[in-house]
Amino acid sequence: MDGKYEVLSPWAEVDPVSPRGISPRLSDLAGKTIGIYNNPKRASKPMLEVVKRELKERYPDEWEKWLKGVDGVVLSYGD
């Protein structure tokens, strides 16, 4: 053996859609519809239940409008 080896990239083909970056932060939640999404990790759901409860307390009239679309999203990974 000559001490050389070939290194292969683990990446597949490049995604044709360019990344957009992070959306700007909402200046206020009043009047906004917030989507809450979680993944199946164990701690994700309990964390989002607390966020959901807080949002409902602070913006009770706005909460039920979320089905019409969202202005912001709270995402939890639960780790």
For 7-63, the pLDDT digits (tens) are 777 776 766 777 778 888 889 888 888 877 767 778 778 888 888 888 888 877 765
Question: φ, ψ for residue 39 (rounded to 5)?
Answer: -105, 175
Residue 7 structure tokens: 């290194």
pLDDT at 76 over 80: no
pLDDT at 1 over 70: no
Domain residue extents for the chain: 38-76
Task: Report yes or no: 13 and 28 within 8 Å, Cβ to Cβ.
Answer: no
According to DSSP, the residues that pair with 76 across neighbouring strands are: 38
| E runs forming strands in 1-79 | 34-38, 72-76
pTM over 0.75: no
